[in-house]
Amino acid sequence: MSDTYAVIGNPINHTKSPLIHGLFARATQQAMHYVAIEGPREPADAFAATVREFIAAGGKGMNITAPFKLAAFEMADERSERATLAGAANAFKFDNGRVLAENFDGIGLLRDIEVNLHTPLAGKRVLVLGAGGAARGALLPFLDAGPAQLVIVNSHVEKAQALASQGTPHGPVTACTYDGLARMGRFDLVVNATSASLTGDLPPVPPTVFSPQGTAYELAYGKRLTPFLRLARNAGVAGVADGVGMLVEQAAQAFLWWRGVRPDTQAVIDRLTVPLD
């Protein structure tokens, strides 16, 4: 008899999670079934009720995607340090009626950058554009990697400053305005953690922040050469990547948490990759 897992979000018809976890399960010979659930947005307690119904039906764990990551964090009985710092959860594990919450977005992003793209962050200058949920999830894993400097920039600098102050006990992190970036020099890694690319827009980032020997990373995936990646390429950056590797790596971390085995990710990344052109 197989165990049941799910991804919950709204909308959910675009999700790659059932495909990814299905491939993981076959590769690791795990007896599990994975489904997609479109969670209700209203009323306020509908998300928690849907999760409880899934638990009552025998569900073992869940991935959580937009717009429920904050609600997932709130309903959890126990939260990891990563989830606590992010203020959001993207994975549940159910243990004797208790809801355990994790956030694997940041650790999945870091693994894609350091392992798949062969770009260790130790001693490097790192720039993160945006101070929302994606940036919050990346903060602790990035600082644990030992960068020389981590700079968070946001259109509302107060939000970046608040996030930087949370990260200060863990490493060298500061906040900056977009206007201030012109004086910051080049960075070894620039990560676009804003939602601008989802609408074909470009964050107001000057091309001077890019190092030709560095890496530009776009969290959005499957959108080919976004305005952000095009700006980086035009600035001479050869190392550009989108977020498909992060998507697969965070899924692999959840799979490991649930099943005790970490699947190989490269074949799945290769299957989902859309050429950047």
Q: Read off the CATH number of the domain in which 39 is found.
A: 3.40.50.10860
Task: Please indicate, yes or no, whether residues 223 and 262 belong to a single structural domain of this protein.
Answer: no
Q: What residues contact 237, with CB distance under 8 A and at least 6 apart? A: 210, 211, 212, 214, 215, 216
| Residue 94 exposed, middle or buried by CB count within 10 Å (0-12, 13-18, 19+) | buried
Contacts 24+ apart (CB under 8 A), 227-233: 227/196, 227/197, 227/200, 227/201, 227/202, 228/129, 228/192, 228/196, 228/197, 228/202, 228/203, 229/276, 231/202, 231/205, 231/207, 232/190, 232/207
One-letter amino acid at 116 equals: N
Which of the residues 16, 60, 69, 124 is marked catalytic? 69
Is 0.85 topped by the overall pTM?
Answer: yes
**What is the reported pLDDT for 106?**
93
Task: Please indicate, yes or no, whether residues 116 and 235 belong to a single structural domain of this protein.
Answer: yes
Task: Please indicate, yes or no, whether residues 217 and 118 belong to a single structural domain of this protein.
Answer: yes
Task: Please indicate, yes or no, whether residues 14 and 92 belong to a single structural domain of this protein.
Answer: yes
**What is the reported pLDDT for 220?**
87
Token readout for 48 is 């928690």
Residues of the chain with pLDDT under 50: none
Q: Determine whether 124 is an active site residue.
A: no
**What is the reported pLDDT for 276?**
81
Task: Please indicate, yes or no, whether residues 86 and 178 belong to a single structural domain of this protein.
Answer: no
**What is the reported pLDDT for 1?**
72
Task: Please indicate, yes or no, whether residues 190 and 264 belong to a single structural domain of this protein.
Answer: no
Number of neighbours of residue 164 by Cβ within 10 angstroms: 21
Within a domain: 277: no
Task: Please indicate, yes or no, whether residues 224 and 139 belong to a single structural domain of this protein.
Answer: yes
122 lies in which domain range?
Answer: 106-242
Across the chain, mean pLDDT equals: 93
| Model confidence pLDDT, tens digit, residues 14-50 | 899 999 999 999 999 999 999 999 999 999 899 999 9
Q: How many domains does the chain have?
A: 2
Rounded (10°) CA dihedral 179, 183, 189, 190: 10
Task: Please indicate, yes or no, whether residues 204 and 112 belong to a single structural domain of this protein.
Answer: yes
Task: Please indicate, yes or no, whether residues 74 and 127 belong to a single structural domain of this protein.
Answer: no
